[in-house]
Amino acid sequence: MGVSAGWDPGRPAPAEEDVVKCVSCGLCLPHCPTFRLTGRETASPRGRIAAMRAVEEGFVQLDESFATMMDECLACRACEAACPSGVPFGRMIEAARAQVEPTRPAPARGLRRAGLAWVLPRPRLVATAGWALAIARALRLDRLAPAAQRASTPPASIAELRRPIPDTLGTGPVATVLAGCVMDVAFRPVQRATMRVVADAGYTALRTRAGGCCGALAMHYGHPEAARAMARARIPEMEAGEIVVVNGSGCSAHVKTYGELLGDDPVWAERAELVAARARDLIELSPPPRDRGLGDVAVHDACHHLHAQRIEPRAMLRDAGARCVDLGDGGRCCGAAGLYSVLQPALSADLRRQKAEAIAATGAPVVAVANSGCAIQIAAGLREIGSPVRVAHPAELLAPDA
Ligand code: SF4
Ligand code: SF4
């Protein structure tokens, strides 16, 4: 599958045996979105690996310029997929970010720790914050915020927020469905459709607790201990199912690493391995074919589907009557990448516009996007260029009446 947690609990730094695999051939460079945008070696996979190596060998300190090189990376793993030497860049960048985290200035470190290691592991806090934000937006209170800080998705109506998502649906073997951190509030139609698709695929869909983050963001941004704590909190709910269904690419890729993430934990290792083996992204399910007359559907491949898991939603969409239209951009990252649009707004905006233009050029009226972060980013990009293309999760296309 090509997914890995990539964190050595004894030493949060890129492993030497990974770093030395890079032979500096440069074949990954044309595939790297940040190198293509900037032309800088320091924004390329080869440059980043050279910096990791220099730190490893003691020639370079863990300083601000090293942190910038790691922060500008999208962790999209396009380089990993292109590398003929098998350099596992995804786990290296996560380890490098864990390595650099203690060296950040105190205010930035405190803010990141508060969000990633304190708020996200607390389901009630996450769910309450999500609801407060959704209600404020439904009441249009977000207009009081500066334009740049407003969310880019249209607010849900109060009626939509009141419409329940079933806790369980269907018959057959149990499939646990990860509710996740903010999906229940921010993407309620996707959650309802997900339950329907899982039930259609022959399972009893059983939803986990709202607000329960899988830990992907914490892992991605240099807080592996918080990610481990969140994995331990999710596993008891997840192991109730014969499979575990996750409807976001970054989250499904991360849950598949639980075995490695907790591999050194004598209490949790076996259970984590079991959950990881049972994890499926929603786009890997095979509900019975049902022609919904979808017509042309542009397909955006999320990086953590295409590069980290090597999976894609076309078979599922074709079974629902879609004529899938590929984007002509080689599957380049849309610039959402976790918190990238917040932390690297300029680079993210360039990628957002390029992605929106590639989607609009297909001429399809709808684009399938199987990840919430990409959906927000792409919807904003399409609005920026004045395109009417609609953004929909594959689950919504398969279960439009959910
Ligand atoms: S990461 Fe792979 S493709 Fe890129 S320079 Fe190193 S060996 Fe070559
Ligand atoms: S993960 Fe993506 S942005 Fe980072 S070096 Fe690789 S290709 Fe470039």
Whether residue 286 has pLDDT greater than 70: yes
Quote the distance between the C-alpha of residue 61 and its chain's center. 30
Q: Is the CB of 36 under 6 A from ligand 2?
A: no
Instruction: Give the model confidence (pLDDT) of 137-190 as tens digits.
Output: 677 665 555 444 444 555 567 777 778 899 999 999 999 999 888 777 778 889
The reported pLDDT for the residue numbered 2 is: 40
Q: How far is CA 171 from CA 41, 168, 286, in A?
A: 54, 9, 16
Whether residue 338 has pLDDT greater than 90: no
Between 48 and 120, where is the model more confident?
A: 48
DSSP string, 18-52: HHTT-----TTGGG-HHHHHH--GGGSHHHHHHHH
**Residues near 65 by Cβ (< 8 Å), separated by ≥ 6?**
42
- Going from the Cα of 400 to the center of ligand 2, the distance in angstroms, rounded, reads 35
The four Cα atoms 137, 141, 144, 147 give a dihedral, to 10 degrees, of 20
Instruction: Give the model confidence (pLDDT) of 5-27 as tens digits.
Output: 444 544 578 999 999 999 999 99
Whether residue 95 has pLDDT greater than 80: yes
Q: Round to whole Å and give the CA distance between 69 and 67.
A: 5
Between 335 and 164, where is the model more confident?
A: 335
Q: Is the CB of 246 under 6 A from ligand 2?
A: no
Q: 243: how many CB neighbours lie within 10 A of its CB?
A: 19
Question: How would residue 125 be classed by pLDDT, with cut points 50, 70 and 90?
Answer: confident
The reported pLDDT for the residue numbered 48 is: 98
Q: Is the CB of 73 under 6 A from ligand 2?
A: yes
Q: Is the dihedral of CA 18, 22, 27, 29 positive or negative?
A: positive
What ranges in 279-328 are assigned the alpha helix state H? 303-306, 314-319
Between 187 and 395, where is the model more confident?
A: 395
Question: How would residue 3 be classed by pLDDT, with cut points 50, 70 and 90?
Answer: very low
Write down the mean pLDDT value for the chain: 89
Place of tokens 């290691």: 117
- The mean pLDDT of 68-75, rounded to a whole number, is 96
The reported pLDDT for the residue numbered 6 is: 46
Please compute, for residue 12, the number of CA atoms within 13 A of its CA located in the half-sphere on the CB side: 19
The reported pLDDT for the residue numbered 293 is: 92
The reported pLDDT for the residue numbered 137 is: 67
Q: Whose CA is nearest to atom 8 of ligand 1?
A: 25
Q: Encode burial over 288-325: b for 16+ CB neighbours within 10 A, e otherwise.
A: eeeebebeebbbbbbbbbbbbbebbbbebbebbbbebb
Between 113 and 389, where is the model more confident?
A: 389
Ligand closest to CA 340: 2
Q: Whose CA is nearest to atom 4 of ligand 2?
A: 73
Q: 26: how many CB neighbours lie within 10 A of its CB?
A: 12
Q: Whose CA is nearest to atom 4 of ligand 1?
A: 28
Question: How would residue 4 be classed by pLDDT, with cut points 50, 70 and 90?
Answer: very low
The reported pLDDT for the residue numbered 364 is: 97
The reported pLDDT for the residue numbered 156 is: 64
Instruction: Give the model confidence (pLDDT) of 27-59 as tens digits.
Output: 999 999 999 999 999 999 999 999 999 999 988
- The mean pLDDT of 275-280, rounded to a whole number, is 98
The reported pLDDT for the residue numbered 51 is: 96
The reported pLDDT for the residue numbered 146 is: 47
The reported pLDDT for the residue numbered 386 is: 96
- Going from the Cα of 348 to the center of ligand 1, the distance in angstroms, rounded, reads 24
Instruction: Give the model confidence (pLDDT) of 199-247 as tens digits.
Output: 999 999 999 987 788 999 999 998 999 999 999 999 999 999 999 999 9
